[in-house]
Amino acid sequence: MKQGLYILLALSLVLVMFTTAYVHSEEPALAIIPDRLVTLTFDDGPDPRFTPRILDLLRAADVPATFFMVGRNMLAHPEIVQQIARDGHAMANHTTTHPHLETLSEADVRAELNGYDHALQTLFGPLAPHTPWFRPPRGRQSAAIDAVVAEQHKQLVLWNVCVENSKTTTPEQMRDRVVKLIRERGGGILLAHDGELDRSLTVQALPLLLDALQREGYRFVTLDEYEQARSLKQKRHAR
């Protein structure tokens, strides 16, 4: 009887370890955050309903961003991708079709990542602006995703604060919530969205949010610069 109970407890522990290893958190907590630095990222575009307006707002605020783009959307709207590049923003891999990537095999995960790279090369040719950054849809991970990311020498990027939240229904509420979280964390990687769903509220809140954080002394930097600062801080902590 006791032996059976021990086996059951052991199996339960293994199950908990397995399920929590890849559970998606709405706002994954990243341990090392560079002081008073913010990097802004957008997922799911490009989308002609929202991305051009977001580019206008970023240009007006002189803020760089990284666009984690979906390959099929890139091929559907090449003129927006070209504008993102002309404005000096970084582009990064967000798969080809925005599937539930965590449910796929390694071969299918590889095809999703390669499809984005193919779209980039189709639009820019051999001088395509490659970056190592990759973000899985919805931030969900799996052993297959981790294996392909390692195989392709990509760097998986999650976030500290998600701009969109079901409890914020006005631009002012969205701004206030994000500013509060950034204050608590001292900076971080902001996740916003420019495609798939209706992102009108994000577009309305973006200038308020950028202005509020800049007034409080937070500096918006590229993802490259943010990662360099994070790496330096991590090395100092390790000493």
Beta bridge partners of 35: none
108 is catalytic: no
Q: Which of 229, 227, 232 is nearest to 66 (CA)?
A: 227
Q: Which of 190, 218, 219 is nearest to 206 (CA)?
A: 190
Length of the chain: 239
What does the alpha-carbon distance between residue 223 and residue 88 come to, in Å, rounded to a whole number? Answer: 12
Q: Which of 74, 80, 78 is nearest to 53 (CA)?
A: 80
Catalytic residue, candidates 77, 89, 94, 193: 193
Cis peptide preceding 28, ω within 30 of 0: no
Catalytic residue, candidates 43, 44, 47, 194: 43
Q: Which of 119, 84, 81 is nearest to 98 (CA)?
A: 119
Q: Which residues, in sequence order, are CB contacts of 57 under 8 Å at separation 6+?
A: 203, 206, 207, 210
43 is catalytic: yes
Amino acid at position 221, single letter: V
What does the alpha-carbon distance between residue 9 and residue 42 come to, in Å, rounded to a whole number? Answer: 43
Give the residue numbers annotated as catalytic, written as ranges. Answer: 43, 193
